[in-house]
Amino acid sequence: MPSILSPAMSLQGKTLPSDQIGASMKVLLANPRGFCAGVNMAIDCLEECIRIFGPEIYVYHEIVHNRYVVNRFSQEGVKFVDDLEEVPPGSILLYSAHGVSPAIRAQARARNLRAIDATCPLVTKVHLEAIKFANAGYNIVLIGHEGHDEVIGTMGEAPQSITLVETAEEVDALPFSQTDKLAYLTQTTLSVEEANLVILRLLERYPAIESPDKEDICYATTNRQHAVRELIGQADLLLVLGSQNSSNSRRLMEIGLAENRPAYLIDGQSELHEEWFQGVSTVLVTAGASAPEIVVQECLKYLEDRFGAAVEEITTRAEHVTFPLPKELRAMQQV
């Protein structure tokens, strides 16, 4: 944990400016935060591939939605692609944590690519549910964000059977009747509250609609949102470490904004602006499920050095989930 120092003390050889002496900033550090089990697995998968095969590896889309992580692997020589035509035949190819459609898998086989599936098991669960419902003749309402990698992959499992909605208002425009066989699924990284609004509207309009056996929004998304909701009332400002294209990170920022708190989604310390903290006594810091702890610690150090901030880590829920490496990679380790 970062050190907790009085504002008037010298910090690692740095003395606070005179206008900050006597300031009393407090940082509430949310826990759980940062990497979830699916992200840990995907990153471990890529690291193990580099160890076995070297860095000449291709990843379909970003391995996770985080600039720091992607830049780190890019600097090692890993290539992230959005089109499999960019991947030479016979190459090692990783599917990202967000999953891919059957069409992408077929294209990879046609190009004789050695594919390793780093899809989060909780995303795979949604894919399997989509297949199950589609095979049973259901029309599936998928609650999610258009264009998100996870949504594209899920819809690709049964494109003729899936209709995407994002808001409760969009439910009213659905063409189905109450006699149609309907089921709903959700993207794993949604706001729990916003997803529930859509689900409630679906149940109002289609009381017989089927649901997944277990909710699709992942445990990590739920836990990080719960922590922010529990702590935001004590804070004047919210900092979320995560990238702009990270759905679960954006949902955390939106919780702060909904509570009328200034809330910022940033990749790291270099994006902080000192004026954000004028008149702020308590800052809540968290990180999305794809943000590494190093960027959190760099921001805490900035707040300590500049404002003499005292850091208090608060745990709202415990997490003990882990996922094994993909079976095809485990098999390669044994060769």
* Four-point Cα dihedral 186, 188, 190, 193, nearest 10: 70
Cβ neighbours of residue 205 closer than 8 Å, sequence gap 6 or more: 171, 172, 174, 178
In the block, residue with structure tokens 């400016």: 17
124 token code pair: 């795979």
- Catalytic-residue membership of 146: no
Is 11 within 8 Å of 304 (Cβ atoms)? yes
Residue 173 DSSP symbol: T
Q: What is the side-by-side strand order in the sheet with 310-315?
A: 263-266, 237-241, 282-287, 26-31, 310-315
Which of 62, 129, 150, 166 is an active site residue?
150
- Give the orientation angle of helix 37-53 with respect to helix 67-76, to 10 degrees: 10
Q: Which residues are catalytic?
A: 150
